[in-house]
Amino acid sequence: MSSLRALLALGGIVTVAVSMNGCTAQNGSPGADSRQGKIVFNSERGGSFDIYLMNTDGSNQQRLTTWERGDQFPTWLPEGSRIGFTSWGREDGLRAAIFTMDADGSNVTRLSKGIGKQDAPRFLADRATEASWSPDGKRILFHSDDMKGNAGDIFVMDADGSNVRRLTTTPGTGNFSHNPAWSPDGNWIVFDSNRNGSDEIYVMSADGSNVKQLTNTPGTAANRTSSQPDWSPDGKRIAFNSTGDRSSDDWQEVIELYTMDADGSDVRRLTYTTDNGESSWDPRWSPDGKRIAFASGSGAKIRDGGDKSRHQQWMDSREIYVMDADGSNVQRLTFNDVFDGHASWQPTRR
């Protein structure tokens, strides 16, 4: 990563994966590796977005939070015994903030203090989401926006919620930078941004400098996207979702999973779910780098329902799957008629 090679357009992809047909039965896979701990995830099955826990084969699913206004974006802290998440309006109205809790849902603690009006000269931010802990556990990346049309940027703070610093100032009204994730050595941050007209994946140094674009997705700006990157545990590959070389007036119909080298080269397509009217997104590596968890479901439109109904159908069809890192051996872990997603693997217990 010290010198990034030339950018590679996603048109040159390697076919290495299978479709979602023939997935595991609802009881999960008996061959799951117990050393991989648990998977924490989001589900709307209880009537609101809450956080759940399950084994890596999908068994023993347990609800951890019951907050009616929503808890989202769960992620394991590097030490593997606590879970970070975003909660909406727990303490101060509509604002979202970052919390942690024990793996059984107890001992909920607020970290982000909110970046409100008192900081307006420095920040345009008002709510904190999408937390990502640094490998040493000392810093937290997050995305924040002000709910007033400023689409948001990436910030970093110390693990206790102090010393908040802004890392990106995305050019253009309503443009954003979000979905940040640390490299395993803590020196780089991968994220996605629409600063150049379409959503693409970038890297930057841990202090926000040295920003470099990794993807250049084919198509027009209105119908292409590459987003939600996640760094492999060995630092060599980045998983992400992308419209790739397919064109649609709705990215939800054609989004698939890919991996690439950390410099943007050697792009490989992993899933072919759109061949069956589905789509896949939000890949997350297992601690050993051998498997990837992700969400997948129907990508079809509701032709007469308008944008809201179409988006609701897309959300309600999301389920969590795992596959090998080359796209093979796909297994379904959740079975609901509501949203299941935002999976995060518990760090390996030594």
Please give the model's pTM, rounded to 2 decimal places. Answer: 0.85
C-alpha span between 299 and 316 (Å, rounded): 11
Residue 14 · residue 5 · CB < 8 Å: no
According to CATH, the superfamily of the domain at 14-345 is TolB, C-terminal domain (2.120.10.30)
CA 17 vs. chain centroid, Å, equals: 21
Cβ atoms < 10 Å from Cβ of 245: 16
What pLDDT was estimated at residue 69?
86
What pLDDT was estimated at residue 278?
78
Residue with tokens 């979202």: 96
CA 35 vs. chain centroid, Å, equals: 23
Which are the contacts of 84, defined by CB distance < 8 A and separation ≥ 6? 74, 75, 76, 77, 98, 99, 100, 111, 131, 133, 140
Residue 316 · residue 337 · CB < 8 Å: yes
Counting Cα atoms < 13 Å in the Cβ hemisphere of 286 gives: 23
What pLDDT was estimated at residue 72?
92
| Tens digit of each residue's pLDDT, the chain (350 residues) | 433 333 333 333 333 344 454 444 344 443 444 445 899 999 999 888 999 999 999 999 999 999 888 899 999 999 999 999 999 877 766 578 899 999 999 999 988 765 444 443 344 455 778 899 999 999 999 998 765 556 789 999 999 888 989 999 888 877 899 999 999 999 999 999 999 888 999 999 999 999 999 999 887 666 788 999 999 999 999 999 998 877 666 666 788 999 999 999 999 999 988 777 778 999 999 999 999 999 998 754 443 445 544 444 445 568 999 999 999 999 999 998 788 999 999 998 65
Residue 305 · residue 51 · CB < 8 Å: no
Coil, helix or strand for 273?
helix
Distances (CA, A) of 121 to 113, 115, 118, 153, 309: 17, 11, 8, 15, 39
